[in-house]
Amino acid sequence: MWFFTYVLILMAGSAYGLSCYRLLPRPYRLLTQMLMITLISELLSHFLKAQIGTNYPFYHVLQVIQILYYGGIFYFLIRNFEPKPRWVMYIAIAFSVVSIIVSMAQSIFTFPSIGNILLSFYVVIMALILFVKMVKTPEETRILSQPPFWLGSGSLFFYSITFFIFGYFDFLVNSGLSPPKWANLLVYFSNFILYGSYLMTLYLAAKKPNRPTS
């Protein structure tokens, strides 16, 4: 039931993004593409888990794709505040390369993986940098009506939680224990917050398509 609700929210975000794709500025087009890829990956991994008992390899591939997508998204968002912030993409590329190397060294049947922690770390830092830049040059629009606020908040919330939870899972796995039920529920809860805020981001971004990149 939790998984079904999660997929439903993810599907709503992807469908909404696709329905107004032409109206969306570049970072939100990338967000829509990433949501589509995540949705397909989640459905395939659910199917794979039912067939062979594990879906961990999917997450190793997905995390690399997501680091690169987030790199693109934050590149275009931060570009509103500074010209050509190439460092955003360079860090994303470096993190994705490290993630691939670590996945090969760690085995793709390991979860939680170091690549997952790298993804969380990258997104949290970029969301915080985006927030700092937003505060330094505020717009007249209400903060709650600005798409980058919802994108940053959802990302910051979800990836801080997963950074903590997956670190805890890793400790449990190494200790030979299984995760408590609340830990899985917290991951689902933060997923709902993440994809709910992305849906809000796309809704607001589609409402004001005139700005060049946000």
Residues forming the site for another protein (CB under 8 A): 131, 134-136, 138-140, 143-144, 149, 153, 156-157, 160-161, 164-165, 168, 172, 175, 177, 180, 182-183, 186
The CA distance from 15 to 102, in Å, is: 34
Q: In the bound complex, what is the minimum distance in angstroms from residue 94's beta carbon to another protein?
A: 26
b/e per residue, 183-195, with b = 16+ CB within 10 A? Answer: eeebbebbbbbbb
CB of 170 to another protein, least distance (A): 12
Contact (Cβ atoms closer than 8 angstroms) between residue 127 and residue 152: yes
Please, is 196 exposed, middle or buried when counting C-beta atoms within 10 Å of its C-beta (0-12, 13-18, 19+)? middle
Eight-state DSSP code of residue 178 = P
Where does 67-186 show beta strands of DSSP type E?
A: none
The answer to whether 2 and 185 are in contact (CB under 8 A) is: yes
Minimum gap (Å) between residue 84 Cβ and another protein: 25
Closest separation in Å from C-beta 135 to another protein: 5
Q: Is 45 or 190 the residue whose CB approaches another protein more closely?
A: 190
Residue closer to another protein (CB basis): 62 or 187: 187
Backbone angles phi, psi at 96, to 5 degrees: -70, -35
- Closer CB to another protein, residue 58 or residue 163? 163
Query: What angle in degrees, to the nearest 10, is found between the helix axes of 147-174 and 114-136?
Result: 150
Nearer to another protein, 43 or 177 (CB): 177
Tokens matching residue 117: 């922690």
Least distance between another protein and beta carbon 173 (Å): 13
The residue (of 53 and 138) whose beta carbon lies closer to another protein is 138
- Give whichever of 104 and 143 is closer to another protein, judged by the CB atom: 143
- Min CB(44)–another protein separation in Å: 29
Neighbours of 103 (CB within 10 A): 22
